[in-house]
């Protein structure tokens, strides 16, 4: 499963990363197709699906899928960029269910074809998607000058 194979057979670009893990850039519309190809090529074990948000890019969400192959004894990372919606890989990897829900909950990425795309970590009525880069941290200013009235009997 070399970079050349990905390029010539699948038409997807291989990128280099610091940790040496094979990483393939996939256009968003071919996400499910290439994930299927990876699964058929032996990378059938799902490990992780996460999102990196870069709001400066119009396709702001970079979705990364990490798979593992026992036969090839190695990982594969598929990555794509999408402004919002993306095909769900739950039909290929049942384990992606909660991971896609988490990506939806924290980033607002919508996965088409997911059986139950609801919030998983935050309350169901939470108004926003906090892990987006332009979302504030939500921290409260700490004011050491405030003295609370303490009604103490000591």
Partner 1 sequence: MAMTHGGNQAGSHGGVKDGAAGWLLSRVQDWSRENSLWPATFGLACCAIEMMATAAGRFDLARFGSELFRASPRQADLMIVSGRVALKMAPVVREIYDQMPEPKWVIAMGDCAACGGIFNNYAIVQGVDRIVPVDMYIPGCPPRPEALIDGILKLQERIGKGHRR
Partner 2 sequence: MVEAPDTSQPEARRELLRINLGPQHPSTHGVLRLELELDGETIVSCRPIIGYLHTGIEKSMAARSWLHAIAMTDRLDYLNPLGNNLAFALAVEKLFDCVIPERAVIARLLLAELTRINSHLVWVGTNALDLGALSVFLYTFRERELLLDLFEEMSGARMMTSFIRPGGLAADLPDGWMQRCKQVLDALPKYVDEYEALLTRNPLFRERTIGVGKLSAGDAIAAGVSGPLLRASGIAHDLRKAHPYCGYEQFEFRVPTATAGDCYARYEVRMAELRESIDLCQQALARMPGGPVRTPDRKVMPPLREEFQQSMEALIHHFKHYTEGLRPPAGEAYVPVESPRGELGFYVVSDGTGRPVRIHERAPSFANLQALPAMAKGMLIADLIAIISTVDPVLGEVDR
Residues lying near partner 1 in the complex (CB under 8 A) are found at: 121-123, 126, 130, 136-140, 142, 148, 150-154
β-sheet bridge partners, residue 61: 53, 82
Please name the residue ranges forming H helices in the chain.
Answer: 3-5, 31-40, 96-107
* 66 belongs to the binding site for partner 2 (CB under 8 A): yes
- Output phi, psi for 45, to 5 deg: -100, 120
Distance CA 51, CA 2 (A): 25
Q: Which is nearer to partner 1, 71 or 146 (CB)?
A: 146
Residues in the interface with partner 2 (CB under 8 A) total: 36
In angstroms, what is the minimal distance from the CB of 143 to partner 1?
Answer: 12
CB within 8 Å of 110: residues ≥ 6 apart? 84, 85, 86, 104, 117
Distance CA 148, CA 126 (A): 31
In angstroms, what is the minimal distance from the CB of 123 to partner 1?
Answer: 5
In angstroms, what is the minimal distance from the CB of 38 to partner 2?
Answer: 15
Q: Which is nearer to partner 2, 30 or 68 (CB)?
A: 68
Window 93 to 122, contacts with partner 2 (CB under 8 A): 93-95, 97-99, 106, 119-122
In angstroms, what is the minimal distance from the CB of 120 to partner 1?
Answer: 10
């Amino acid at each position: 499963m070399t970079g050349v194979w990905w390029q010539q057979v699948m038409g997807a670009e291989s990128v280099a990363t610091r940790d040496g893990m094979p990483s393939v850039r996939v256009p968003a519309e071919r996400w499910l197709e290439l994930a299927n190809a990876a699964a058929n090529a032996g990378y059938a074990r799902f490990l992780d699906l996460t999102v990196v948000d870069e709001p400066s890019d119009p396709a702001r969400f970079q979705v990364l899928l990490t798979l593992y192959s026992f036969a090839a004894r190695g990982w594969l990372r598929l990555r794509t960029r999408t402004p919002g919606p993306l095909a769900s890989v739950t039909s290929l990897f049942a384990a992606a269910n909660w991971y896609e829900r988490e990506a939806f909950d924290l980033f607002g990425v919508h996965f088409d074809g997911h059986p139950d795309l609801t919030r998983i970590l935050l309350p169901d009525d939470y108004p926003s998607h906090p892990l987006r880069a332009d979302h504030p941290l939500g921290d409260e200013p700490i004011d050491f000058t405030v003295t609370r009235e303490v009604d103490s009997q000591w």
